[in-house]
Copies of this chain bind each other. A is one copy, B any other.
Amino acid sequence: MWEIWICACVGLFGLIVAGFLALHVMRKNPGSPDMIHISDAVHEGAMAFLKREYAVVIIFIVCIFVVLLLGLRAEGTKFAAATAFAYLVGAGGSLLAGLFGLKISTRANTRTAEAAKSGTNEALLVAFPGGAVMGLTVVGIGLFGLSGLLLVYFGLASSLEVSLKAARVIGAISGFSMGASSVALFARVGGGIYTKAADVGADLVGKVEAGIPEDDPRNPATIADNVGDNVGDVAGMGADLYESYVGSLISGLVIAVATLSPGLKMKGAILCLLLAALGVVSSVVGISFVRGRSAQTALRNGTIGSAMIFSGAAFLCTYFWYGHLYPFIAVFSGITTGLIIGFVAEYYTTGRVVHRIAESSTTGVATNIIEGISVGMMSVVIPLIVIGVTVLISYYSAGYFGIALAGIGMLSIAGITISVDAYGPIADNAGGIAQMADLPSRVRTITDNLDAAGNTTAAIAKGFAIGSAALTALALFFAYTQTVERLSGSPLIINLMAARTMAGMVIGGMIPFIFASTTMRAVGRTAFRVVEEVRRQFREIEGLMEGRAKAEYARCVDITTKGALREMIAPGLLAVLLPLFVGAFLGPEALAGALAGSVVVGVPLAIFMANSGGAWDNAKKYIEAGNLGGKGSESHKASVVGDTVGDPFKDTAAPSMNILIKLMAVVALVFAPIILILNKWMGIVR
């Protein structure tokens, strides 16, 4: 058990480092009163969104808490209480991480702008630590919470027989993962709708109708736009990866206890936590590498450095502590997969491919759209082959446990990948503040450079997010099947040739399309409300366009907040209720089919939409850099349309797939006992 204590301490260590980084950021000079004022507006907007979001989330959490408490009674009151409590801790951890990360990111923006006056490295040393607060908080809370809860539960269950104890404790712990998923659903989907609705709304009236530049203080939606970057790409992304992180660890624990030989059960479970601890340490080391003149090289060094350090440490740990090398193969295949998916995303959203899309803009919008969709669809090929191969390698090296280990391996360095991702919006915001506060153009150049570096490296991080969601969903899927076996006491075979499995797969394969459709339309509807509000302000506030009066930023923030939260309830409920419904009415084979169908459809759809969006975005930037006619040309106009279509693709629909496929699997895992009872009650026997 001492190893779990160590893991808890490492989790705490991550949190302490995050605290120091936060202090480091907060001690920096926040700049002129003007800058502070803008930053405050963004900060308040983000907090207002969080407050509303959390109010909705907490109602949701209370409902699920009650359902778990009552629904799992048949498994024993203690088990039900333990699961429900783990659920609260998992959800609470995500809420705290989001709050803390967002508080710092919305403070780091103006400080980055101020530091940019002194140079690139100085600015990087504010922006990146600002993002790293989110990164280390996520992994710190995840590891500390999970290890701590395990220690507590093992202590409470000390009276139980050894073999039973592990299964019961870890069964209850899976509630933790459900908690992470509950928050991620709202944070990622709501945040994704928020960020693009504000962005599209601000652009449509500001750039297109009024002809004022981006981030112009006269645009009433400009603060909402900057808030959106934070709630989408910092809080939403963090909650997404927290869910993956926790989900992969818990599926590892469940599968280890269920499938490994008796002597290895606990050792395998602890290995998962130790690997995560090594990952936290590697991430901290990698974070310290991020400095130097070129931001892009620094970020890349940090990421790849962490991956290499972790690989070495994981090798030593599995060989010497665990005593076998085969789990390392699975772990290593996972981390390699993450990197490959990231590099493929980079390939399809930069360079030659993007130039081809830009060239297709010269013959009009239609060819730009077709080319972008075609590129995105092609970009799914290598990632899916790699995921398929990783499933084979990790399974043949360590069974189902290997598949969980691949997920854990990929997510081990989440500490740094989240940091890189969260750094992006800080640099972006810093640029916005520089623009709004009229700082010298030299400052804006530096923040633009930082932002561009973030965009490129974020492609890799996005690959990690999707790849890890895929592996986590698969691992949770296997954890679910193991749990059904344990609960029903008989081996479960999901025969693909059974009609129920096939029907479940077809139905599960439809869900990602519903999610993509509703989230995209939600962006459109909310953006439309923003547009109307901005038009109203332009019309009714006298002197706004001349800079004599101030825009009412808070109104736009408020409208976007309400819209985003309202629009995400329907798809969210669907993702929770569908597995329950399919499981209860059609039985576990159909549910397994539905989960498999959602992954097989959801993963390529997410990769396609993310990469199409990224490629359109960069094609527009390529033309704006002066190529193929440059700004204002017909090809530029065509590329702007592509970018606008791509925005909800890459920042709303695609990331919401990550949540969807994990959430469905977690619901199946946690509610498995309830579903089995309903099956018996309705006469569906396997």
Q: B608 to A513, Cβ gap below 8 A?
A: yes
Q: Does A517 contact B (CB under 8 A)?
A: yes
Q: B517 to A378, Cβ gap below 8 A?
A: yes
In the complex, which of the residues A396, A400, A600, A648 has the most CB atoms of chain B within 10 Å of its own CB atom?
A600
Tell me the A330-380 residues at the B interface (CB within 8 Å).
360, 363-367, 369-371, 373-375, 377-378, 380
* CA distance in complex: A517, B604 (Å): 13
Q: Does A389 contact B (CB under 8 A)?
A: yes
How many copies of this chain are found per oligomer? 2
User: Chain A's interface: helix, strand, loop or mixed, by majority?
Assistant: helix
Partner of A504 from the list B388, B495, B504, B521 (CB cut-off 8 Å) is B388
Closest to A360 in B: B524
Provided the pairs A494-B496, A593-B496 are in contact, do residues A370 and B509 lie with their beta carbons within 8 angstroms? no
In the assembled complex, which residues on chain B have CB atoms less than 8 Å from the CB atom of A43?
Answer: none
Q: B601 to A604, Cβ gap below 8 A?
A: yes
Q: Does A685 contact B (CB under 8 A)?
A: no
Q: Does A109 contact B (CB under 8 A)?
A: no
Q: B363 to A365, Cβ gap below 8 A?
A: no
Q: Does A220 contact B (CB under 8 A)?
A: no
* CA distance in complex: A646, B370 (Å): 9
Q: Does A156 contact B (CB under 8 A)?
A: no
Tell me the A381-410 residues at the B interface (CB within 8 Å).
381, 384-385, 387-389, 391-392, 394-396, 400, 403
Provided the pairs A505-B596, A648-B370 are in contact, do residues A500 and B392 lie with their beta carbons within 8 angstroms? yes
Provided the pairs A391-B502, A502-B391 are in contact, do residues A600 and B603 lie with their beta carbons within 8 angstroms? no
Q: A513 to B601, Cβ gap below 8 A?
A: no
Q: Does A160 contact B (CB under 8 A)?
A: no
Distance (whole angstroms) from the CB of A143 to the closest CB of chain B: 28
Distance (whole angstroms) from the CB of A242 to the closest CB of chain B: 25
Q: Does A497 contact B (CB under 8 A)?
A: yes
Q: Does A661 contact B (CB under 8 A)?
A: no
* CA distance in complex: A385, B582 (Å): 12
* CA distance in complex: A165, B179 (Å): 60
In the assembled complex, which residues on chain B have CB atoms less than 8 Å from the CB atom of A604?
Answer: 509-510, 513, 601
Q: B521 to A371, Cβ gap below 8 A?
A: yes
In the assembled complex, which residues on chain B have CB atoms less than 8 Å from the CB atom of A474?
Answer: 502
Provided the pairs A517-B374, A604-B601 are in contact, do residues A496 and B506 lie with their beta carbons within 8 angstroms? no
Q: A377 to B507, Cβ gap below 8 A?
A: no
Q: Mark A623-657, 1 if CB is under 8 A from B, else 0.
A: 00000000000000000010011001000000000
Closest to A501 in B: B496
Distance (whole angstroms) from the CB of A664 to the closest CB of chain B: 15
Q: Mark A180-221, 1 if CB is under 8 A from B, else 0.
A: 000000000000000000000000100010000000000000
In the assembled complex, which residues on chain B have CB atoms less than 8 Å from the CB atom of A204?
Answer: 363
* CA distance in complex: A464, B271 (Å): 53
Tell me the A99-133 residues at the B interface (CB within 8 Å).
none
* CA distance in complex: A641, B366 (Å): 5
In the complex, which of the residues A363, A513, A604, A608 has the most CB atoms of chain B within 10 Å of its own CB atom?
A513
Q: Does A478 contact B (CB under 8 A)?
A: yes
Q: Does A481 contact B (CB under 8 A)?
A: yes
**Interface residues in A, total, Cβ within 8 A:** 76
Distance (whole angstroms) from the CB of A503 to the closest CB of chain B: 4
* CA distance in complex: A506, B645 (Å): 27
Q: Does A162 contact B (CB under 8 A)?
A: no
Closest to A523 in B: B370
Q: A381 to B503, Cβ gap below 8 A?
A: no
* CA distance in complex: A365, B400 (Å): 48
Closest to A527 in B: B367
Q: A506 to B370, Cβ gap below 8 A?
A: no
Q: Does A493 contact B (CB under 8 A)?
A: yes
Partner of A603 from the list B389, B499, B506 (CB cut-off 8 Å) is B506
Closest to A378 in B: B517
In the assembled complex, which residues on chain B have CB atoms less than 8 Å from the CB atom of A298?
Answer: none
In the assembled complex, which residues on chain B have CB atoms less than 8 Å from the CB atom of A502?
Answer: 388, 391, 474, 596
In the assembled complex, which residues on chain B have CB atoms less than 8 Å from the CB atom of A400?
Answer: 497
In the complex, which of the residues A363, A388, A600 has the most CB atoms of chain B within 10 Å of its own CB atom?
A388
In the assembled complex, which residues on chain B have CB atoms less than 8 Å from the CB atom of A279?
Answer: none
Q: B521 to A374, Cβ gap below 8 A?
A: yes
Q: Does A592 contact B (CB under 8 A)?
A: yes
Q: Does A469 contact B (CB under 8 A)?
A: no
Distance (whole angstroms) from the CB of A34 to the closest CB of chain B: 34
* CA distance in complex: A508, B603 (Å): 13
Q: Does A268 contact B (CB under 8 A)?
A: no
Provided the pairs A497-B493, A600-B601, A604-B513 are in contact, do residues A520 and B385 lie with their beta carbons within 8 angstroms? no
Provided the pairs A369-B369, A509-B384, A524-B370 are in contact, do residues A377 and B517 lie with their beta carbons within 8 angstroms? yes
Q: B645 to A366, Cβ gap below 8 A?
A: yes
Q: Does A514 contact B (CB under 8 A)?
A: yes
In the complex, which of the residues A481, A509, A520 has the most CB atoms of chain B within 10 Å of its own CB atom?
A509
Q: A387 to B520, Cβ gap below 8 A?
A: no
* CA distance in complex: A84, B555 (Å): 73
Q: Mark A296-336, 1 if CB is under 8 A from B, else 0.
A: 00000000000000000000000000000000000000000
Q: Does A597 contact B (CB under 8 A)?
A: yes
Distance (whole angstroms) from the CB of A211 to the closest CB of chain B: 15
Distance (whole angstroms) from the CB of A531 to the closest CB of chain B: 8
Partner of A514 from the list B377, B391, B521 (CB cut-off 8 Å) is B377
Q: Does A516 contact B (CB under 8 A)?
A: yes
Distance (whole angstroms) from the CB of A530 to the closest CB of chain B: 13
Q: A510 to B648, Cβ gap below 8 A?
A: no
Partner of A496 from the list B495, B503, B608 (CB cut-off 8 Å) is B495
Distance (whole angstroms) from the CB of A374 to the closest CB of chain B: 5
* CA distance in complex: A339, B596 (Å): 28
* CA distance in complex: A327, B478 (Å): 36
A-B contact pairs, 29 of them (CB 8 A): A208-B364, A360-B524, A364-B644, A366-B641, A366-B644, A369-B645, A370-B520, A370-B645, A374-B516, A374-B520, A374-B521, A377-B520, A380-B513, A381-B510, A381-B513, A384-B507, A385-B507, A387-B506, A388-B506, A391-B503, A395-B499, A396-B499, A481-B497, A493-B493, A496-B496, A505-B596, A506-B600, A509-B601, A597-B600
**Chain A to chain B: the 7 pairs with minimum beta-carbon distance, closest first:** A395-B499, A366-B644, A377-B517, A494-B496, A384-B510, A388-B503, A509-B600
4 more A-B residue pairs beyond the given contacts A381-B513, A395-B499, with a C-beta to C-beta distance below 8 A? A374-B517, A377-B520, A502-B596, A505-B596
